[in-house]
Structure 1
């Protein structure tokens, strides 16, 4: 079928809107009409050449939409189902089979190769002499009117809820909330600092509040975001431009926090994160780390640990419905973090994300009748 997609053509280039050809779903695949899709920093990193993705490529990995067709091997989804799309995994490696698909052995080809895990591509430019285009970003490529996903990264959700608000549960909010609830297992009375209150940081903050953490410290340089963090559950806020971060956290807690989630990827903030820990404290990194990041072994005395966290160590089919229920009950108010943009305004949405003007930009696709009327 023919779809309309925003194609990333290279660093510094504007998105190119193109009509592309999308294959019919194979055995385990699901054809989804995209209703809305979030914009994540990973999309920006891929677009800017900071991630090993082949360009030109259709990006987008926080899609939400309606199932239109399913492959013959898909028995638990049907046309008309409302779904959220998440990351891709092979489903058969030891990590996948043990309930940790975010650490899949095929994670890089499954999510960043621009193709299916077997190397084939289901999206094509039109015409015999057209240059190839890549897709299958995170197993979806949702910066398009339609996406091919698989049963492994497609999660059915309640049809009564607004789909346009649910897409970011597939990555950004899942990553933050999962880091707190799955990886750290934060519980009542615990102490945590969150470095960077973007979408991932806010997901973590709201989850820590839900878990009953006694001390939740939000660290950022944006006063408006810090004010919102206080409104959404932070017990303390620290402006990193005005205070010595680790020293201030130590003063607030007396002995340091049990957990630090660093979403910034900055070397100086990693140093602050380790210094802010109490004995046996844990630092989790969700943004990788700067190449010059170094943690001296002596700083890890008294049982402190630093580890990476991918996708909040979530099993999407289990965790996303949990987040959906929390949102529906008003306890995970992602709607307060979302700003909508028309699909055609994708450049403005990326600019708002880069400047910090919008916590979570979400692109809404035009209705089918409007798409049909386009020349």
Structure 2
């Protein structure tokens, strides 16, 4: 592994810790975040040339603190803040990392607090995602903009507005009260889930995967898992990501064309990720109340356990989807249950279940509904209708890879086609 890669990995790990320390001390999220980013950029240039310092976290805290103090001193309208910043104790000025109990929080808590702050309910899901990737993930604005295919200036405005909303909401850098903490953790996990999904199956653009984004979601979820080792849903989400990402190498052919699950070469699946994900979800389900992420991970583990598509335990998959449908009703869950039901009782049973979603505004016109309907219609022998729905699905997706796949399916069913 190159020095640059080691430095990059270390900086990504330390960025949220350093930002958490500064925000807890100074209470100025936007200014602290800018100072930390400057310190990280300085380290990215200096460390590969001079070597990583003995105490890299303290080095970053010192560098970022100095930049923050310089920034405050340069703003004459903020005399009071300048005085407060300059009055920091010599120990803190030197960037000594707070030990357990210092500032009222054990070491490591800052990252979790920072995640809760980035997923503040005052923000939209898009802003929560962008701010999490910037502040906790350590990605640059340009990297986030590239991942979501928007101009850098647009993403910069979105992130800036998110910080301003947090400031306007009067948020304090502390863990929320117990009741709010449960709800905020749900939002944190949902944001990480969205980041992973965008990396695993991009919603738009020419590439099916954005592996760096999926890896970042896994890294952040591992971090939350270390902070909350007894939370079953955190473990469930991590297991779901690992079991899903294990299939990545088999999802596309040499030309980048999409390969559906039932046609994938399962010898290409990552056995280590499957083993880790399966062990995680087995432990979580044995000791925790069932939650949506655990159930989805259990479904993924059931697929992973089958050496061939025909060996899949569809009865178990269907049962898990029924439980998931009961505890977290969602049209996409019903849609996936229809696929499992069709494997057990035939395509007509699956189509009948899909019909219950026709009046659901949440999935009306969604390309996934057309995809599943086309697949089941094809299996039932109604090829003209199947072709129509494949084409509808192709027109409904912004992913070029998915569109090519769906158009090829439709073309295969064209009258006279071989």
**TM-score, normalisation: structure 1:** 0.26
**TM-score, normalisation: structure 2:** 0.24
Relative to its length, the structure with more helix (as a share) is 2
Relative to its length, the structure with more strand (as a share) is 1
Which of 1 and 2 has higher RCO (CA within 8 Å, sep 6+)? 1
Pair member with larger Rg: 2
